[in-house]
Structure 1
Amino acid sequence: MMIENNLFWLLVCGHLIGDFYLQTEEMANGKKEERNILYKHALIYALVLLVAISPVLNSDIFIYVYLPVVISHFFIDLLKVKIQFKRNSESFITRNIFLVDQIAHIAIVIIFACIYANDSTIALNQFGQNLLSFYQTLGMIMTSSILLRIVFVFLLIGKPGNIIIREINNKEKIRGNIMTNGTDTGKEGIEETEYKNAGKLIGILERILVVILVMLNQYAAVGIIFAAKSLTRYDKIVKDPSFAEYYLVGTLLSLLIAIAAVLSIQPI
């Protein structure tokens, strides 16, 4: 059962760290122009994944899980770069290549983690046993398996959540429409630049709050968060229909990511 497959959770946590948190926008864009940046990302990703699975790492996992995942990640990224290089930036494939790319990466992780888990018992090595012993001495009330899934949730709703919303919601195009339709184009441009990072932080914070509230079964309180958020943009929502649509889609996507993240770690 996937929910009990700790190898999968270690792999997917390593993927989120290596492919999102340790890959900057400059690296993601630079891979299209310079192959060395692609190699650098592949090396960083390989090292992060190796560290992530180190508590259960053995020769079989290295050969039958780690190497296939790392090698496939490189070739999927290489294919993505070639597609982006050949096609216009406004094409359907390019706009959605991020989602296809991530689905392919996670599918590979699921396939190899499941194949190995079905054939072999996933046991902790000496390093993993030492980590577990240290964790148990802390007197934590949750098992290490549950902690690992919670780590996955909070990794997902951070930077990956922001990027997923940006890619699906086509933020750059809508921002251009908002600035063009505004009565004071210069002012809108300054405001968007000034609050760009604040918007990302607000998105992360709201998803953290939603996750905590859902885990505590306080679903009614979730509505209060988004009501308060809407009040800060009320004037813009009323005056600009295009912004209102963009804002609503982004808010719903943020809520969906947070709830889906929690549901993904719960047994069916």
Structure 2
Amino acid sequence: MTLLFLKLLLAHLVADFVIQPLKWIKDKEQKAFASTGLILHASVHAVLYAIAFSFNPDYWLGFAILVVSHYLIDGFKCMAGRYADNYSLPESFINRRTFFVIDQVLHLAIIAFVVSLYFTGISEWVIPQEKILALIIAVLLLTRVSSIIIKVLISRWAPLNVYDGDHSLANAGSFIGMLERLFIFVFILSGNWHGIGFLLAAKSVFRFGDLKEAHDRKLTEYILIGTLISFGLAIAVGLAYLYLI
């Protein structure tokens, strides 16, 4: 049960966060169910789910549920997103960020449901192959997936000057976030929780000069929110991994 769930979860994360081009996303947001990008995206999921099921025809029902549900959920999410952009208030919770979270929760729930169709018991231990898959998923969650989640969640508060890249390395903030989450993951696995405190203190020291010179309370709050979400996600992934293995 655990192995199949991890395979399907890995397939979902790769298809949704790693190999989905930006032009597919924009095409989906503009055309919803009429989007070629949505069809291609669902096709990628179909291929990866087939691989996860080892092309075993016995899993045809679960495969069909996953592919069709993904197409429908993404299509309705894009339709709802367009409606929210056109009619919701700026501070409303009904926006693309809300639909993004609902979308991911539904996908994960359906994966769990499909796995439950074929298994009734829960494994009490994890075989090495599952540990490897769990580690790959954890690293993926800590890097690419977390970066996208954080960007989606805090985009509504982004100050205008946060996009000024004249004095910053390209994508530096994203890579710094990935590295800090990986460090936190290692600290948790090794039992060195105090390392997380040192990491947070070090980041605060390096950021202090920028924030002091900026005299921008919004920028300070924006960075603080992003940092806390980043640390929270890393701790959650680390604890989940420890619980699993």
**TM beyond 0.5:** yes
Tell me how far apart the structure 2 counterparts of residues 9 and 199 of structure 1 sit (CA, whole Å): 29
In the alignment, is residue 197 of structure 1 matched against residue 195 of structure 2?
no
In the alignment, is residue 154 of structure 1 matched against residue 155 of structure 2?
no
In the alignment, is residue 215 of structure 1 matched against residue 217 of structure 2?
no
Native 8 Å contact 2:159 2:218 kept in 1: no
Matched residue, 1:234: 208
How many pairs were matched up? Answer: 231
Native 8 Å contact 1:80 1:97 kept in 2: yes
Structure 1 residue 196: deviation in Å?
5.1
Cα gap change, 1:190/1:259 in structure 2, threshold over 3 Å: closer, same or farther?
Answer: closer
Q: Given residue 149 of structure 2, which amino acid in structure 1 is its aligned partner? A: I
Native 8 Å contact 1:211 1:259 kept in 2: yes
Give secondary structure in 1 for the equivalent of 2:159: helix
Tell me how far apart the structure 2 counterparts of residues 196 and 29 of structure 1 sit (CA, whole Å): 23
Tell me how far apart the structure 1 counterparts of residues 184 and 36 of structure 2 sit (CA, whole Å): 40
Name the % identity: 29
Specify every segment of 5 or more residues in structure 1 that has no aligned partner in the other structure, as ranges: 122-141, 180-187
Instruction: Pick the structure with greater CA Rg.
Output: 1
Cα gap change, 1:227/1:25 in structure 2, threshold over 3 Å: closer, same or farther?
Answer: farther
Structure 1 residue 5: deviation in Å?
1.5
Q: Given residue 9 of structure 2, which amino acid in structure 1 is its aligned partner? A: V
What RMSD in Å do the two structures reach over aligned CA positions?
2.4
Matched residue, 1:58: 56
Tell me how far apart the structure 2 counterparts of residues 50 and 203 of structure 1 sit (CA, whole Å): 33
Matched residue, 2:21: 24
Structure 1 residue 86: deviation in Å?
2.3
Kindly report which structure 2 residues correspond to 1:94-133, keeping only aligned pairs within 5 A, or say none: 94=95, 95-118=97-120
Structure 1 residue 243: deviation in Å?
1.4
| Structure 1 residue corresponding to 2:232, chosen from 234, 246, 256 | 256
Specify every segment of 5 or more residues in structure 2 that has no aligned partner in the other structure, as ranges: none
Tell me how far apart the structure 2 counterparts of residues 41 and 143 of structure 1 sit (CA, whole Å): 31
| Structure 2 residue corresponding to 1:78, chosen from 75, 80, 91 | 75
Q: Given residue 75 of structure 1, which amino acid in structure 2 is its aligned partner? A: L
Tell me how far apart the structure 2 counterparts of residues 106 and 196 of structure 1 sit (CA, whole Å): 33
Structure 1 residue 169: deviation in Å?
1.6
Q: Given residue 243 of structure 1, which amino acid in structure 2 is its aligned partner? A: L
Q: Given residue 242 of structure 1, which amino acid in structure 2 is its aligned partner? A: K
Tell me how far apart the structure 2 counterparts of residues 84 and 50 of structure 1 sit (CA, whole Å): 29
Q: Given residue 158 of structure 1, which amino acid in structure 2 is its aligned partner? A: T
Native 8 Å contact 2:27 2:36 kept in 1: no
Structure 1 residue 115: deviation in Å?
2.6
Stretch deviating more after TM superposition (143-152 or 222-231): 222-231
